[in-house]
Amino acid sequence: MKRLLRFSVVAALMALPIVTLAATTVTPAKELAPATTHQQTIGTINAWGDSADDVEAFLSKEATLKGATGYTINSERDFDGQIYGTATLYK
């Protein structure tokens, strides 16, 4: 019984670093001021939405998913009630 308890404790302690590594958080990309784009460009993205806030939220989320550390919104245009936006990604 003691042997089983010791084995369980050792197994749990060995698994702890693996669980800790898997729980690392992703830092969200942030919108950069136009004059601070000294980083390397890694691409562009675009989005459609019902409002400018929807488009900006989607661009931010997509920038983070693509691995960007920052982005700048290049344009937002209204097309018959639908907003279209583009952004440049930086790393």
13: left (phi over 0), alpha (psi -120 to 50) or beta: alpha
Cα–Cα distance list, 72 to 15, 29, 77 (Å)? 41, 10, 15
pLDDT confidence of 8, banded at 50, 70, 90? Answer: low
Q: Which range, 9-18, 33-42, 51-60, is most confident? A: 51-60
Average pLDDT on 80-84 reads 93
pLDDT at res. 20: 44
Average pLDDT on 5-26 reads 53
Separation of alpha carbons 64 and 38, rounded Å:
18
43 DSSP β-pair partners: 89
Give 67 or 27, the one with higher predicted confidence: 67
CB neighbourhood size of 2 (10 A)? 6
